[in-house]
Amino acid sequence: MSVYTPVSKAELAEWLRNYSVGTLLSLEPIKSGIENTNFFVTTTQGRYVLTLFERLPAEELPFYLDLMAHLARHGIPSPAPIADLSDAYLQHLNGKPAALVTRLPGQSLEQPGKRECAELGALLARMHLAGRSYPAYLENPRGPKWWRFAAAEVRRFLSREQLHLLDDEMAFQAQHRFPDLPRGPVHADLFRDNALFENERISGVIDFYFAGVDCLLFDVAVCANDWCVDDDYQLDPARTGALRKAYEAVRPLTALEAEAWPIMLRAAALRFWLSRLYDFHLPRPGMLVHAHDPEHFRKILECRRAS
């Protein structure tokens, strides 16, 4: 797990005096995540998640918190940020920007099937439709501009074969930007561990801190590359079909989106290969830090290129 900034119960109890959430009962570090410090917080009034933002620019944080509040108001099971006594979502704790949000029920699934992929597809489409009325704008922070930065940073760690793959895919993606595809706020990181299920339904979508404005199809591709992949890194046809059919029942894809699908799958694989390479080879100092294996998404990228 990742805890970059420790917080004691005494420190949190004092901080919570700025909120109308009752008295602190328990504080528990969350055993996942590599970007921020997260804790489960239980008070006499309810259950919450506390996030200390470790490296996100302060000026970007309102986009994420306001997006979560917007989606929650529109019936999407997103964590709802809790305003403090001055009606602000964002505060500071132990020198870091910090926010308190509702803790949603349910558990993530390690091995989703067709039913769960269909649930995801329908939820993702509803989320995209709800996001159309969200007025704020933030370009996807892990989009092509970041790809170029990360690629330059990790080059010295790569083999000749990996460099060839990276350079070739970067050149390919530079030729396929799709400015005419439908765009809007996207989660951009809706892996299995960021969706919670209860009674076979999605009860929560969490961790919006990679969100931004991008092609809506990119969000679908990110999900497919995680939820629908088999042991050979190929897309399982049944799960992929269930995800797309349920999505399109709510928001049909345009002809241009259908044509761009194979390329967007490659773009989504490239994005996560690069981010895992960056986190693996250039880790930040911190307590209990976990980095994912970059090879998983290298193999996914090679499979998508061969399809």
Q: Note the pLDDT of residue 3.
A: 72
In this predicted structure, what is the pLDDT of residue 55? 87
Mean pLDDT over 285-290 rounds to 56
pLDDT score recorded for residue 207: 94
Q: Residue 218 corresponds to which tokens in the numbers above?
A: 């990119």
Amino acid at 4: Y
pLDDT of 1 above 50 = no
The CATH number, out of the four listed (2.60.120.620, 3.90.1150.10, 3.30.200.20, 3.40.640.10), of the domain defined by the range 9-102 = 3.30.200.20
Q: How confident is residue 110, by pLDDT bands cut at 50, 70 and 90?
A: very high
Mean pLDDT of 112-140: 98
Query: Does the pLDDT at position 100 exceed 70?
Result: yes
Q: With contact defined as beta carbons under 8 Å apart, do 172 and 266 qualify?
A: yes
pLDDT above 50: residue 23: yes
Determine what percent of the chain is predicted with pLDDT higher than 70: 97
pLDDT in tens, 159-218: 999 999 999 999 999 999 899 999 999 999 999 999 999 999 999 999 999 999 999 999
For the purposes of burial, counting CB atoms within 10 Å of the CB of 178, is it exposed (0-12), middle (13-18) or buried (19 or more)? Answer: middle
Give the Cα separation of 285 and 130 in Å (integer): 38
The third-level CATH classification (topology) of the domain covering 114-306 is Aminoglycoside 3'-phosphotransferase; Chain: A, domain 2 (3.90.1200)
Q: What is the mean pLDDT of residues 54-81?
A: 96
The residues spanned by each domain of the chain are 9-102, 114-306
For residue 252 the two structure tokens come to 């049909």
Residues 6+ away with beta carbon under 8 Å from 80: 68, 69, 72, 101, 102
Average pLDDT over residues 103-117: 97
Q: How far apart are CA 110 and CA 91, in angstroms?
A: 34
Mean per-residue pLDDT for 124-144? 97
Under the banding of pLDDT at 50, 70 and 90, the label for residue 288 is: very low
Question: pLDDT value at position 290?
Answer: 62
The pLDDT tens digits for 264-277 are 999 999 999 999 99
Q: Is the pLDDT of residue 287 over 50?
A: no
User: Which pTM value belongs to this model?
Assistant: 0.95
Find, among 235, 222, 63, 233, the residue nearest to 135 by Cα. 63
What is the pLDDT at residue 285?
A: 67
* Greater pLDDT, 32 or 128: 128
